[in-house]
Amino acid sequence: MSLHSRTGGTLCCVALGLALALGTASAQQPAAEADTPVASASPTAIGERLGGDAGRPAFGQTAFAMPAPNLDARQLRDFAFGNRLFNTNWVQAGSSTASFDGLGPLFNRVSCSGCHVRDGRGRPPEPGEPMESMLIRISKPGRDNHGGILPHPVYGDQIQDRAIPGVKPEAKVVLTWDEAGGRYADGEAYSLRKPKIELRDPAYGKLGKDLLMSPRVAQGMIGLGLLEAIPEATLLAMADPDDANGDGISGRVNRVYDVAAQGMAIGRFGWKSNQPSIRQQVAGAAAGDIGITNSVFAHDACMPPQKACKASPNGGEPEMSDEFLAKLVLYSRTLAVPNRRNVDDPQVQRGEALFMQSGCAACHTPRVVTGEHELAQVAHQVIHPFTDLLLHDMGEGLADGRPDFDADGREWRTSPLWGLGLIHAVNGHDLLLHDGRARGPAEAILWHGGEAAAAQKQFVEMPKADREALLAFLNSL
C-alpha cells in the first residue's frame, strides 16, 4: 500500500502553504494586539486526531479521498471498488457497458464525483455558467403523508437540469447575486452576497408562483460513518427544543421517513438533516441526481406528465445492484477525517479558546463519542466533528423558506467543521454554507443569525487579532 507515502510527499508543501497563509494574516498585527489575553491559553484540548481511529494525516488535493486507516484488507478492496463507482460516468441505457448504464432520463450529473469533487465540496456556478456541483430542491407548500415535502406535481422534488437525448431537461437554473456591505465593530468593511435563483425555460409547463426552492451545494464526504454512529440518545440529549437551559439555543432533531424501514427516524444527513442514513442518502442521490434506480428508490425521477421520460428505456430493474449500492455505502462511510494541522501554534490555540468563549461550541459540538455501528471501525470513537447534527434557526438571512420534514424554512443542520481548513486545497475554493454564498469562513460566520445571532455579534465585536486567531483555529481543522 502506497497510501502513507502519498501523503508524506505533499506534507511539506501544504504545511508550508498554510503557514504562509496564516503568516500573512498575523504579520500585519502589532505584537501587543496578538497577545491580547484570553481566558484559556492552555494547550489545545482537542488535539490532532479529529476522527479517532478513522482519522489520519492527509494533505493537499487528496486530503478527503483517503480510506480510514483502520479498514481491513477486504474492506479496502470494497472501498477501492466503491471509489470506482463514485467516479463512474454512468451512460445511457442500451450501451455496451451494461453494469454502468441507465443514466437519467432526467439527471443533474453523470457521476457522484461530478458534484462531490475529490470527495469534497461543490460550489455555485460563476455568472453565465451552468450549475455543476449543486442542485435546487423544490416543493409545494404542504406535507405528504409521511410528513415530508409535497413534490411539485410535474417537476417533482428537484430540478434536473440535464437529460438524455429525446428528453427535455426540466429547466435552466440562473443564479445571480445581491451584494450588501457591512462593518465590523472596529470599522473594517465587509461585503456579503446572497443568491437569487431563477428557473428559465421550464420545459413541462408553469412552475407556479407558490414554488418553494432550496439551493444546495454538494457536501463534503469525510467522516460520515462516524456521524452515523453517534447514538440517538446523544443527539436527543444535545437537543434542547424549548431552550430549557436558557442559552438562546434550541437545537432540534429532524424526524424523517426511512424508506427501507417504512417508519420515521432521526435525520442526520443533508443540509437539513433530511436523510436518516447514508444508505438512503446514497440511494436517493443515485436515483435523483444521476437517474440510477436501485432497491431503495426503484423509479427514475419521471413525474407522470413527463411522458418522454417515462417512455425511455431503462438500464435494468434496478439499474444499480444491491452489491454496488453496498460498496458505495461502505465508501461513503469510511472516507478518513484528516488530522488537524498547526495545533501547537499559539494563535491557533488562542482561536480555539475564542471559539469556545463565543458560543460556537453550543452548536458545533467539539467532542462526541460514537456508539454501536454495524461497521466496527466507526463504533466507540472519540471524535471532534464540531456538529450536533441538530437543526437550528439561523435567521431570515440564511432562510430558504422551504420546510423539509420537521425542519422549517429557517432551520439548518449545524455543519461539521472538520476538514474546513483543507477545502481550499481539495476544491480550489472556500465557498461555504448550504448555497456556497460565503467566500470563506469569516463570511460564513457573518451570515449566522437567529439562534446564532449572539455568537455572530461576538465575532463582529472582536478586535481584528482575535478574529484572525479564530479563523486560524478554523483553518487548523
Residues at the contact surface with Ca ion, assessed by CB under 5 A: 102, 155-156, 160, 291, 300
Contact 208, 152 (CB under 8 A): yes
Q: Which amino acid is it at 252?
A: R
Residue 102 touches which of ligand HEC, Ca ion, none (Cβ within 5-8 Å per kind): Ca ion
Backbone angles phi, psi at 476, to 5 degrees: -85, -10
Residue 328 touches which of ligand HEC, Ca ion, none (Cβ within 5-8 Å per kind): ligand HEC
By beta-carbon proximity to Ca ion, the closer residue of 17 and 151 is 151
DSSP three-state, residue 270: coil
Residue 398 touches which of ligand HEC, Ca ion, none (Cβ within 5-8 Å per kind): ligand HEC
* Residue among 75, 139, 277, 332 that touches ligand HEC (CB under 6 A): 332
Scanning 28-36, 140-148, 232-240, 270-278 for contacts with ligand HEC by CB under 6 A, the matching segment is 270-278
- Using CB under 6 A as the binding rule, the residues of this chain from 199 to 218 that contact ligand HEC are 216-218
Cell digits for 328? 458505495
The rounded distance, in Å, linking the Cα atoms of 59 and 476 is 12
Backbone angles phi, psi at 97, to 5 degrees: -80, 75
By beta-carbon proximity to Ca ion, the closer residue of 51 and 102 is 102
* Residue among 79, 257, 271, 418 that touches ligand HEC (CB under 6 A): 271
Contact 276, 258 (CB under 8 A): yes
Judge residue 271's burial from the number of C-beta atoms within 10 Å of its C-beta, 0-12 exposed, 13-18 middle, 19 or more buried.
Answer: buried
By beta-carbon proximity to Ca ion, the closer residue of 49 and 152 is 152
What count of residues does the chain have? 477
Instruction: Give the dihedral sign, CA 323/324/326/330.
Output: positive
DSSP three-state, residue 129: coil
Residue 290 touches which of ligand HEC, Ca ion, none (Cβ within 5-8 Å per kind): ligand HEC
Our finding on whether 155 is near ligand HEC (CB under 6 A) is no
Q: Beta strands 189-200 and 212-217: pairing type? A: unpaired
Our finding on whether 158 is near ligand HEC (CB under 6 A) is no
- Using CB under 6 A as the binding rule, the residues of this chain from 399 to 438 that contact ligand HEC are 412-415, 432-434
* Residue among 22, 138, 238, 290 that touches ligand HEC (CB under 6 A): 290
Residue 291 touches which of Ca ion, ligand HEC, none (Cβ within 5-8 Å per kind): Ca ion
Scanning 7-15, 16-24, 72-80, 275-283 for contacts with ligand HEC by CB under 6 A, the matching segment is 275-283
DSSP three-state, residue 72: coil
Closest by alpha carbon to 106, among 306, 281, 280?
A: 306
The rounded distance, in Å, linking the Cα atoms of 403 and 448 is 19
Chain centroid offset of residue 413 CA: 10
Where does this chain bind ligand HEC (CB under 6 A)? 86, 108-109, 112, 114-116, 133-135, 216-219, 224, 249, 269-271, 274, 278, 281-282, 285-286, 289-290, 328, 332, 355, 358-360, 362-364, 392, 394, 398, 412-415, 432-434, 441, 444-445, 448, 451-452, 455, 459, 474
